[in-house]
Structure 1
């Protein structure tokens, strides 16, 4: 006879930004079998609330706030020590969801306090900022710490895993899965949202992403400027905000103003209706300088949108024929001419292709549950 043991897992990686990583974690959290597995969260920038904090607390989970290490390094590390010392017998696993190896302290301290499973999960395939000698040395040192402390390595894609851990490291790919039902194409939802936004007669281009070096908004606006010359009825929806560093957002707004495109570019900020906004779009552009495996790329395909991605993004994101890769070395005019080809595109429901490829949360969550269940369902006779 088998007995079920409730497995408590401590998740790190949520920020105040509702981005791909945060959305991914929340998808897991909402669909996990809470009779078997419970997620709690550590907010490592405790000066701000993390995304979805109300939903997390309402579901009965705990959020531990630790002050940012940039604000007070000694206090940050001391609170980690206190947290794990107090709770070392509660948590079976700790998961560090990260975009770089500049910070791996939770893995090290979890090893010290004997937390059995210590998982690091790569969500990116490039650096957000210029990496100097000191950061290179820090990353090299942190790789040694991981060899000492991490028990499992996850990645959102092969490219993200190889970039962060190296080709020789054995890592498990966990798909950035979504609720396909929320995103599947619906003509009625499209018509309703376009009417609400006054977009009925427009050619609507969409982009979702925080304003940062990675997302390449400067080039995106150049592309749209060329599109607008070809199709004056074109509109660009920019969904997302800046976190801490507002310079990229301010530069984007100034560039739109300089190009006299203020009436044609909408800065929508953070939104809770992304799936509906995707219905209103006619195509989706993601000219990022690097990505792990962009969740928005899966969402856009599920919504039936023609997608135009930079060719540095992993080909693993190409689940359907809706995806087109274009080199960042090509001109903005070249991109524009490719994008306007989608003006006559007839959308359809392709959500079954997404499900069959393993990107539906209801399928993927079973793999994650199995990962924990295989270790913590045991035979009473043993």
Structure 2
């Protein structure tokens, strides 16, 4: 299982779950070794690859697997619209408890076929799931059409650990990269929905103004080659660093000046919980739900129609005076403490 938003959230929960009572096994749809696979196995879990060329074949293979393994009494699906396929497979295999977990607030695809699929998947999710969970109210409204009888489980983090690491890492980028300019990071898979092409336009605008800056792009994905070529074609390779997958996200966040998220759509990304935990100023697309702003003055929203406006905002170099104690209190009261979230989820599992 690779290192991404929903996967990171799952691992946060898994690490804080009493594994003497509850064990997670993970179905993946690739035969490649994932970033979290070794840790999952070390914690007593299994990573079970199901390889198929299309969703229907995948559904049939998942059904056969679950029929062969009746010990699995709960299937918890985390792939938004695709939950429909996986819960159908589980239902037809005789699994009693079917959990659909909403992580997104929109589909982001506009073709006729995609719209038909979206409508079918939404109806199926709402009809077949015996239990519903969402990372936020807007994600619940999108996938289930309501927040009623939906467990709201915010994308939680280990607050105290992150705060401690952050306070010891304020000069991390300077030490690792000898960078004393404006330090900007973007964290996310290199997919169209993350809108990295817009980030490169921001970089062009900053370079035009002769700003000393670096944008650190963290993540991997199918657009990596194209984005690197775009950076090369616009003479940005000295200002844009592609770091790939990293295990030092907290350290990088703690020592950056800004994080940017010009996404075309999002649910409630865990990376925005992380950025606010470490007191990182963040500029976010107006396509991202307003509920991601925890009200502590660290998130600003901008439209994604002008790289000039984003560059202007970055050069304001805003600072926050909020204390760690205030942040911890806000996060805990908002349900973002992973220990409490893991306990809440465990109670739900044990009640089934």
Q: TM-score, normalised by structure 1?
A: 0.84
Which protein has the larger Cα radius of gyration, Structure 1 or Structure 2? 1
TM-superposed deviation, 1:302: 0.8
Aligned to 2:132: 153
Aligned to 1:275: 250
Are residues 1:65 and 2:49 paired?
Answer: yes
Instruction: Using the TM superposition, name which of 296-305 and 49-58 deviates more.
Output: 49-58
Aligned to 2:76: 95
Would the aligned equivalents of 2:172 and 2:251 in 1 still touch at CA under 8 Å? no
Would the aligned equivalents of 1:69 and 1:77 in 2 still touch at CA under 8 Å? no
Are residues 1:84 and 2:66 paired?
Answer: yes
What is the rounded CA distance, in whole Å, between the counterparts of 1:363 and 1:79 in structure 2? 35
Aligned to 2:289: 314
Distance 1:152 1:69, change over 3 A: farther
Are residues 1:293 and 2:268 paired?
Answer: yes
Aligned to 1:366: 343
Aligned to 2:316: 341
TM-superposed deviation, 1:373: 2.7
TM-superposed deviation, 1:81: 2.7
Give the one of 98, 105, 109 matched to 2:85: 105
**1:309 aligned counterpart, secondary structure:** strand
Are residues 1:224 and 2:209 paired?
Answer: no
Would the aligned equivalents of 2:171 and 2:255 in 1 still touch at CA under 8 Å? yes
Distance 1:344 1:25, change over 3 A: closer
Aligned to 2:240: 265
Are residues 1:183 and 2:162 paired?
Answer: yes
Aligned to 1:172: 151
TM-superposed deviation, 1:77: 4.0
Root mean square deviation of aligned Cα: 2.3
TM-superposed deviation, 1:91: 2.1
Deviations 1:65-108 (A, max 9, x none): 211343x954x3443233111222x1221111013x24522211
Aligned to 1:41: 26
What is the rounded CA distance, in whole Å, between the counterparts of 1:158 and 1:321 in structure 2? 21
What is the rounded CA distance, in whole Å, between the counterparts of 1:348 and 1:239 in structure 2? 27
**1:321 aligned counterpart, secondary structure:** coil
What is the rounded CA distance, in whole Å, between the counterparts of 1:259 and 1:188 in structure 2? 36
Deviations 1:332-378 (A, max 9, x none): 11111112112666675333322232112112212111212333xxx
What is the rounded CA distance, in whole Å, between the counterparts of 2:153 and 2:167 in structure 1? 32
Instruction: Using the TM superposition, name which of 48-57 and 132-141 deviates more.
Output: 132-141
Deviations 1:230-277 (A, max 9, x none): 4622111100011xxx3x323322222232221111100011111111
**Alignment: residue pair count:** 348
**2:25 aligned counterpart, secondary structure:** strand
Would the aligned equivalents of 1:203 and 1:343 in 2 still touch at CA under 8 Å? no
Are residues 1:29 and 2:14 paired?
Answer: yes
Instruction: Using the TM superposition, name which of 275-284 and 366-375 deviates more.
Output: 366-375
Which sections of structure 1, spanning at least 5 residues, go unmatched? 1-14, 376-382
What is the rounded CA distance, in whole Å, between the counterparts of 1:260 and 1:213 in structure 2? 22
Which sections of structure 2, spanning at least 5 residues, go unmatched? none
Aligned to 1:195: 175
